[in-house]
């Protein structure tokens, strides 16, 4: 059972998931985000930005509570470059130390959603908020702007934009653009838009290009990710 709702600040999503023992693994698609997590088995952890789908579950029964941070926000909350967390699941204590995290973990046992939100809000406040470049780049690429146009719009040369994106998102703008485009395409397809039209509207060369790109990022073709 999976549920989600808006969290305590703009763009953040609080979600919960309860998996039964031996349940089929869940395919978690890359989305440009970093998640703060609490697990009934693993405690406080961090899910870094993925480049391809991550398969979660398939083991003992487990309850998860997660706070999905908006793209580009994880750097300010966690205090480390996003590229250091790319394609990784890391105990929070590995980043902040056992002593500080132990106190948070104890409270999270009874109120995980509140603790995760408190952590993120407090860390963002202390950092003076997220780097505004993250939201600007995300908005431009999500709207279909090219990497060159995005760089020009931010006043950065392409190499500087690439470095900043690795720090904020965990990968360069080209990878982020592909991931955001896949998200747009799947949203349209799940709403009933035919895949050929989805491909045209999202800037793919054709439906075959859409299928190849989704398979590369998600591990399965788009038809496997649509309601049946």
pTM of the model: 0.94
What confidence tier does 117 reach under pLDDT thresholds 50, 70, 90? Answer: very high
Average pLDDT over residues 56-84: 93
Query: What contacts 94, CB < 8 A, 6 or more positions away?
Result: none
What confidence tier does 228 reach under pLDDT thresholds 50, 70, 90? Answer: confident
Average pLDDT over residues 40-57: 94
Q: Rounded CA gap, 174 and 160, in Å?
A: 13
Write out pLDDT tens, residues 139-189.
999 999 999 999 999 999 999 999 999 999 999 999 999 999 999 999 999
- Give me the residue label for tokens 């509570």: 65
Judged on CB neighbours under 10 Å (0-12, 13-18, 19+), 219 is middle
Within the chain, what is the greatest distance between any pair of CA atoms? 54
DSSP secondary structure letters along 76-142: HHHSS-GGGGTT-EEEHHHHH-HHHHHHHHHHHTT-HHHHHHHHHHHHHHHHTSS-HHHHHHHHHHH
What confidence tier does 200 reach under pLDDT thresholds 50, 70, 90? Answer: very high
Could you list the beta-strand ranges (E) of 127-191: none
What confidence tier does 54 reach under pLDDT thresholds 50, 70, 90? Answer: very high
**pLDDT given at position 56:** 84
- Give me the residue label for tokens 């934009």: 161
- Give me the residue label for tokens 């989704």: 214
Q: Rounded CA gap, 69 and 130, in Å?
A: 11
């Amino acid at each position: 059972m999976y549920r989600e709702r808006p969290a305590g600040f703009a763009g953040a999503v609080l979600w919960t998931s309860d998996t039964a023992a031996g349940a089929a693994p869940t395919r978690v698609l890359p989305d440009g985000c970093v998640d703060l997590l609490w697990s009934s088995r693993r405690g406080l952890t961090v899910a870094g930005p993925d480049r391809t789908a991550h398969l979660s579950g398939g083991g003992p029964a487990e309850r998860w509570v997660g706070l999905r941070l908006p793209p580009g926000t994880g750097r300010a909350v966690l205090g480390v470059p996003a590229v250091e967390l790319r394609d990784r699941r890391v105990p929070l204590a590995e980043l902040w130390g056992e002593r500080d995290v132990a106190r948070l973990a104890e409270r999270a046992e009874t109120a995980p959603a509140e603790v995760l939100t408190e952590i993120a809000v407090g860390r963002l406040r202390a950092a003076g908020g997220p780097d505004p470049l993250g939201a600007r780049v995300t908005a431009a690429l999500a709207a279909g702007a090219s990497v060159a146009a995005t760089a020009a719009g931010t006043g950065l040369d392409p190499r500087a934009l690439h470095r900043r994106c690795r720090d904020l998102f965990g990968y360069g703008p080209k990878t982020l653009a592909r991931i955001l485009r896949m998200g747009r395409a799947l949203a349209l397809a799940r709403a009933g838009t035919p895949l050929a039209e989805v491909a045209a509207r999202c800037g793919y060369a054709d439906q075959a290009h859409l299928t190849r790109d989704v398979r590369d990022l998600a591990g399965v073709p788009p038809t496997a990710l649509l309601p049946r």
